[in-house]
Amino acid sequence: MKQLIIEGGHELSGTIRISGAKNCAVALIPAAILANEKVTLCNVPNITDIDVLVSILEEMGVTVDRATGSLVIDPTTLTNTNIRPELSDKMRASYYFLGALLGKFKHSEMDFPGGCSIGKRPINLHLMGFEALGATVTNEGDKYVINSEYLHGADIEFNIASVGATINIMLAACLADGITHINNAAKEPEIVAVAEMLNKMGAKITGQGTSVITIEGVQELHGCNVEVIPDRIEAGTYAVAGALCGNMLKIDNIVKDHLGAFVEKLDEIGVFYDLGDDYIYLSKGENYKAVDVKTEVYPGFVTDLQQVFNVLLTQCEGVSHVNETIYENRFMHVPYLNKLGANITVDGRIATITGPTKLKGTEVVATDLRAGAAMVLAGLVADGTTVINNAEHVLRGYEVIVEKLTNVGAHIEIKEVENK
């Protein structure tokens, strides 16, 4: 087991450069297999979720050249479409191979994907979309087997604007015959990035970033060179660190427009910041005010920042309510924040945070990726030493987090220890 050990109370100043977005890169990599030539991806974060996807590609026979920050993927050497459950179980985004393989070979199969345990996270909308495109979906044990003799365009309506289902249908539909409309499509920046990559490969996709996406099927897709967009969740996480412990902490390489609802909440709380198109400076302020937060699909307040934001709310005067509308079970960090000294109660999907409370270092657990990030932030602001067990979760999504925080003045180290 990996442990993160943080001595809290140190001021953060200097610059943290934001890496390529995990939730974008994990979709662009499976998308690459749709091409009939090499695809080059730049600004790929060095995180363990990417290691898993590279292993899946390599087991498929795809040649992958990995250098610092870049991946050159040659799908022409693909010989095998099997994905071992041990790999698909390691992350949620393995499900993008279902859409990409279906688009390319009219057949895909995989066990139910893994990922953070933050709710049931069914994939019924993905499967419904594949069926609308002319595929049949059967279950063999835990495995989904998807086949199509003739993949064709369809009018698809989602009852939830799902990120994963929107991307998976784009992947499957761009080599289908005819025109597909995705109604109530998700609008996240990652969706736009995937559509733009597919268009660079020769796909005909319009409407990305709006709630109706149109995909006109083409015969084949060619190679391309694409840069992964900056990670808005990593940016938000370090921005909260700045609001908690910063002294003109600069978060660089951000996209201002991707952080809209998050920055509005910083304003409401009374955080001092200076926001430019691609950077934000933050300093720790005083007299922060409690606010209510409701997670929503983009461009609303993103669920992936809910847990780290709670740490900031523990330092605000008054009572904050946090309504988690996307996942049923995204408050697993709360008992550990309380162990650190917070005053939070949870009733269903609403957490009530009363502050400010002084946090004091102790031993806690990273129950999932963003819960782990919340523990890191709590450790930075707490008095004394915080030990975070199961830190592997954090490394799935935050590139060189120890180095990035150390460079701006944090006292943080990572250790390998025997499992308890």
Please give the Cα distance from 347 to 98 (Å, whole number): 36
Report in angstroms the alpha-carbon separations of 343 from 78, 196, 328.
Answer: 53, 44, 21
In this structure, what token pair is assigned to residue 128?
Answer: 């419904």
Sign of CA dihedral 58, 51, 139, 162: negative
In the complex, what is the shortest distance from the CB of residue 386 to ligand EPU, in angstroms, rounded to a whole number?
21
Contact pattern for ligand EPU over residues 21 through 60, marking x by CB under 6 A: --x--x----------------------------------
First vs last C-alpha separation in the chain: 8
Residue 32 or 316: the one with the smaller Cβ distance to ligand EPU is 32
Interface segment toward ligand EPU; rule CB under 6 A; list 103-111, 155-163, 237-245, 248-256:
155-163
Name which of 12, 307, 25, 366 is nearest 189 in CA terms: 25
Contact pattern for ligand EPU over residues 387 through 406, marking x by CB under 6 A: ----------x---------
Residue 92 or 284: the one with the smaller Cβ distance to ligand EPU is 92
In the complex, what is the shortest distance from the CB of residue 231 to ligand EPU, in angstroms, rounded to a whole number?
9
3-state secondary structure 348-396: CCEEEEEECCCCECCEEECCCHHHHHHHHHHHHHCECEEEEECCHHHHC
Subset of 355-374 contacting ligand EPU (CB under 6 A)? 369-370
Subset of 209-268 contacting ligand EPU (CB under 6 A)? none
Q: Which residue is nearest to ligand EPU (CB)?
A: 164
Residue 288 or 327: the one with the smaller Cβ distance to ligand EPU is 327
Bridge partners (DSSP) of residue 415 are 3
Subset of 160-179 contacting ligand EPU (CB under 6 A)? 160, 162-165
Phi and psi at residue 31, in whole multiples of 5°? -60, -30
CB count within 10 Å of CB 401 equals 25
Q: Is 156 in the site for ligand EPU (CB under 6 A)?
A: no
Residue at 84: amino acid letter:
R
Subset of 98-127 contacting ligand EPU (CB under 6 A)? 116, 119-126
In the complex, what is the shortest distance from the CB of residue 7 to ligand EPU, in angstroms, rounded to a whole number?
26
Residue with tokens 């499900």: 95
Name which of 362, 366, 346 is nearest 354 in CA terms: 346
Q: Which residues contact 100 (CB under 8 A, 6 or more apart)?
A: 30, 31, 33, 34, 108, 171, 172
In the complex, what is the shortest distance from the CB of residue 420 to ligand EPU, in angstroms, rounded to a whole number?
25
Phi and psi at residue 37, in whole multiples of 5°? -145, 175
In the complex, what is the shortest distance from the CB of residue 244 to ligand EPU, in angstroms, rounded to a whole number?
20
Residue 23 or 283: the one with the smaller Cβ distance to ligand EPU is 23
Angle between helices 22-32 and 189-200 (to 10 degrees): 30
Name which of 163, 65, 71 is nearest 123 in CA terms: 163
Please give the Cα distance from 213 to 187 (Å, whole number): 9
In the complex, what is the shortest distance from the CB of residue 318 to ligand EPU, in angstroms, rounded to a whole number?
28
Please give the Cα distance from 25 to 93 (Å, whole number): 10
| 116 has catalytic annotation | yes
Contact pattern for ligand EPU over residues 289 through 328, marking x by CB under 6 A: --------------xx---------------------xx-
Residue 113 or 246: the one with the smaller Cβ distance to ligand EPU is 113
Q: Which of 24, 116, 245, 316 is catalytic?
A: 116
Residue 273 or 398: the one with the smaller Cβ distance to ligand EPU is 398
Residue 93 or 156: the one with the smaller Cβ distance to ligand EPU is 93
Residues carrying an active site annotation: 116
Q: Given the rule CB under 6 A, which residues bind ligand EPU? A: 23, 26, 92-93, 116, 119-126, 160, 162-165, 186, 188, 303-304, 326-327, 369-370, 397
